[in-house]
């Protein structure tokens, strides 16, 4: 076999990932491994070697719960046939390889910059010079929005080509938030610095990215997390899902001018994030998750508090949901707006909520479970219309399900351990991949260690990396006034994308 199959968070020797020539690598990852739509690319990246680039492709196999890894060494000068020509889901990954290493692709459909990183291959590229798609026409006009938007929101530029009020084309230019996080993971040597970086990848997905990092790190160090740690991480992920999805519903109500919904969902988020503060001193769970330990063991008093929070939340949540989901003026704005069909979702390789809204069953909690997700036998929540309404429904149902899971977790709290061994250093020449289903979707972190066990390469993929193109496609033929509600309902991360 010319690939190696690993489980989520399994550490293997780097040398055990089969290396092959580009045609074989191409054949494997474009045709052989992607035959069924229960497989998709979870990460594809290049790591620098002296004078060369080592490409590693990671295909998640949902049926087997495995990740198939293969690799290929190329040089920057080589002109390669692109994967994207056959599978659009690779388009952003190949653009990144092009931007970071100068790899030329002969037949890539859209070989444009991704984020204008500080270490771009082309030293002359600058974010002010992004090559936007243009149409020469007397009838059409362009609308440029951003990078700074109207509300308190991260920066990114949206360029619309419109026919009157109708959007024909949207191009999304990102990179404004680029902080060089992946390079800093290698540069900063203290574990606490790396955890701090993980907590800063996307401040609305602190639990998601930090769990991805600590699971990966513990695996690299040969540390098996005990039940209490796994339990806390699972709880944090589900609380974060409730909090941010509730905030998302509030934002969606705002964007259709439904003030009551906006206010009620908005304030319902407060007790959930305040519970994070009660637990760990921070409303967004920064400081809560640590590798090899926890500073905030869960206590019976916290259990009682959380039960009360959920009971109060549920009553008010159900009441406002009943109102919103039967309010014709809101539904008229939600239904058939910003549609991604199942076929398009598969082509684009969307993940998380953005896949499940279009009938694509993709959820790491069920396909590649980690921490305590084994216990839930999680069934993904699937909708079929791929519109704003589906995205609203998924949020509502995810919240309900998370409440159920949390109640189940609270039935039995594994005892905190005081006999934990301390973390050793990572093994030498190793590779680990970690997948987490954050509230937005699939988060993927990969790490490579060198001959002395030092971290030499770190790769992060936020689910938004897959999904931004879906937003651009979803708004085609919509009225431009529907763009805000589409955008909010996707709720993608700028900093998670730009890193």
Partner 1 sequence: MLNNLKILFHQGKQYIPDITRAQVPGIFRGRPVISNEPVDENELMDLCPTNAILSGPLAIDLGKCIFCGECAFAFPGKIKFTTDYKIATNERRQLIIPEGQGQPIELNPMLIRKEIHQYFGGSLKLRQVSAGGDNSCELELNACSNVNFDMGRFGIDFVASPRHADGIVITGPITKNMALPLQICYDAIPQPKIIILAGTDAISGGIFEGGPAIDRSFLSKYIIDLYVPGNPIHPLTFINGVLDLIKKRH
Toward partner 1, which CB reaches closer, 62 or 204? 204
Tell me if 28 sits within 8 A of 2, measured CB to CB.
Answer: yes
Is the Cα dihedral 473, 474, 477, 478 positive or negative? Answer: negative
Toward partner 1, which CB reaches closer, 255 or 387? 255
Name the CA dihedral angle for 483, 485, 487, 488, rounded to a multiple of 10 degrees: 160
Toward partner 1, which CB reaches closer, 242 or 381? 242
Smallest separation, CB 31 to partner 1 (Å): 37
Smallest separation, CB 322 to partner 1 (Å): 8
Toward partner 1, which CB reaches closer, 5 or 282? 282
Q: Nearest 5°: phi and psi at 431?
A: -135, 135
Smallest separation, CB 468 to partner 1 (Å): 15
Smallest separation, CB 332 to partner 1 (Å): 18
Toward partner 1, which CB reaches closer, 192 or 428? 192
Half-sphere exposure of 164 toward its Cβ, with a 13 Å CA cutoff?
4
Smallest separation, CB 415 to partner 1 (Å): 20
- In which region does residue 203 sit, left (phi positive, over 0), alpha (psi from -120 to 50) or beta (all else)? alpha
| CA angle in degrees (0–180, nearest 5) for 400-403-409 | 145
Toward partner 1, which CB reaches closer, 175 or 338? 175
- DSSP H or E stretch at residue 272: helix 259-280
Find the helix packing angle between 388-411 and 483-490, rounded to 10°: 20
Smallest separation, CB 263 to partner 1 (Å): 5
- Is 248 buried (19+), middle (13-18) or exposed (0-12) by CB count in 10 A? buried
Toward partner 1, which CB reaches closer, 286 or 395? 286
Kindly give, in sequence order, each residue whose CB lies less than 8 Å from that of residue 423, ignoring residues fewer than 6 positions away: 191, 217, 218, 221, 223, 291, 292
- The SS3 assignment for 326 reads coil
Smallest separation, CB 494 to partner 1 (Å): 7
Toward partner 1, which CB reaches closer, 35 or 123? 123
Toward partner 1, which CB reaches closer, 107 or 312? 312
R_g (Cα) of the chain, nearest Å: 22
Smallest separation, CB 115 to partner 1 (Å): 8
Smallest separation, CB 256 to partner 1 (Å): 15
Helices marked H in 49-170 — which ranges?
A: 91-101
Name the CA dihedral angle for 385, 386, 388, 391, rounded to a multiple of 10 degrees: 100
Tell me if 203 sits within 8 A of 284, measured CB to CB.
Answer: yes
Distance CA 289, CA 296 (A): 9
Tell me if 195 sits within 8 A of 258, measured CB to CB.
Answer: no
Smallest separation, CB 86 to partner 1 (Å): 32
- Record the tokens describing residue 479, joined without a space: 């009225």
List of residues contacting partner 1 (CB under 8 A): 115-119, 127-128, 147-148, 150-155, 175-180, 183-184, 188, 190, 192-193, 195-197, 200-204, 206, 247, 260, 263-264, 266-267, 270, 274-275, 277-284, 286-287, 295, 315-316, 319-320, 322-323, 493-495, 498
Tell me if 275 sits within 8 A of 311, measured CB to CB.
Answer: no
Toward partner 1, which CB reaches closer, 85 or 417? 417
Tell me if 356 sits within 8 A of 381, measured CB to CB.
Answer: yes
Beta strand segments in 9-152, E? 11-13, 39-49, 52-61, 66-74, 79-80, 104-105, 141-145
Toward partner 1, which CB reaches closer, 385 or 395? 395
Toward partner 1, which CB reaches closer, 277 or 307? 277
Smallest separation, CB 495 to partner 1 (Å): 5
Smallest separation, CB 226 to partner 1 (Å): 19
Helices marked H in 22-155 — which ranges?
A: 22-26, 91-101
Smallest separation, CB 117 to partner 1 (Å): 7
Toward partner 1, which CB reaches closer, 28 or 321? 321
Beta strand segments in 233-324, E? none
Distance CA 426, CA 213 (A): 13
């Amino acid at each position: 076999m010319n690939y190696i199959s690993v489980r989520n968070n399994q550490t293997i020797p780097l040398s055990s990932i089969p290396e092959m020539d580009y045609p074989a690598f191409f054949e494997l990852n474009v045709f052989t491994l992607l035959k069924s739509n229960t497989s998709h690319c979870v990460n594809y990246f290049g790591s620098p070697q002296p004078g060369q680039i080592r490409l590693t492709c990671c295909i998640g196999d949902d049926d087997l719960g495995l990740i198939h890894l293969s690799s290929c060494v190329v040089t920057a000068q080589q002109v390669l046939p692109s994967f994207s020509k056959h599978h659009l889901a690779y388009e952003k990954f190949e653009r990144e390889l092009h931007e970071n290493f100068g790899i030329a692709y002969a037949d890539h459909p859209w070989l444009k910059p991704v984020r204008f990183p500080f270490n771009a291959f082309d030293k002359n590229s600058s974010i002010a010079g992004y090559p936007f798609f243009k149409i020469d026409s007397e009838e059409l006009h362009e609308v440029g929005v951003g990078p700074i938007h109207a509300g308190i929101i991260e920066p990114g530029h949206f360029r619309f080509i419109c026919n009157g009020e109708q959007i024909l084309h949207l191009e999304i230019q990102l990179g404004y938030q680029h902080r060089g996080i992946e390079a800093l993971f290698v540069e900063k040597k203290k574990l606490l610095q790396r955890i701090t970086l993980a907590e800063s990848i996307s401040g609305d997905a602190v639990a998601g990215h930090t769990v991805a990092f600590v699971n990966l790190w513990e695996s690299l160090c040969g540390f098996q997390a005990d039940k209490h740690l796994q339990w806390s991480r699972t709880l944090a992920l589900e609380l974060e899902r409730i909090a941010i999805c509730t905030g998302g519903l509030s934002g969606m109500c705002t964007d259709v001018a439904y003030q009551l919904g906006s206010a009620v969902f908005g304030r319902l988020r407060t007790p959930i994030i305040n519970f994070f503060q009660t637990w760990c001193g921070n409303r967004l769970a920064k400081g809560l998750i640590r590798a090899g330990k926890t500073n905030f063991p869960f206590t019976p008093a916290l259990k009682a508090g959380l039960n009360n929070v959920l009971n109060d939340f549920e009553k008010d949540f159900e009441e406002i949901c009943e109102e919103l989901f039967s309010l014709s003026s809101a539904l008229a704005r939600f239904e058939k707006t910003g549609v991604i069909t199942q076929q398009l979702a598969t082509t684009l390789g969307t993940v998380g909520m953005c896949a499940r809204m279009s009938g694509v069953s993709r959820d790491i909690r069920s396909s590649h479970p980690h921490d305590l997700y084994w216990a839930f036998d999680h069934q993904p929540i699937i909708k079929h219309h791929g519109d704003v309404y589906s995205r609203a429904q998924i949020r509502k149902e995810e919240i309900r399900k998370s409440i159920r899971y949390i109640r189940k977790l609270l039935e039995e709290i594994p005892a905190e351990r005081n006999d934990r061994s301390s973390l050793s250093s990572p093994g030498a020449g190793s590779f680990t991949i970690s997948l987490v289903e954050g509230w937005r979707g699939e988060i993927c972190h990969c790490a490579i260690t060198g001959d002395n066990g030092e971290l030499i390469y770190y790769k992060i993929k936020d689910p938004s990396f897959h999904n931004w193109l879906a937003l651009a496609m979803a708004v085609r033929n919509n009225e431009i006034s529907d763009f805000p509600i589409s955008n909010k309902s996707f709720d993608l991360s700028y900093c998670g994308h730009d890193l």
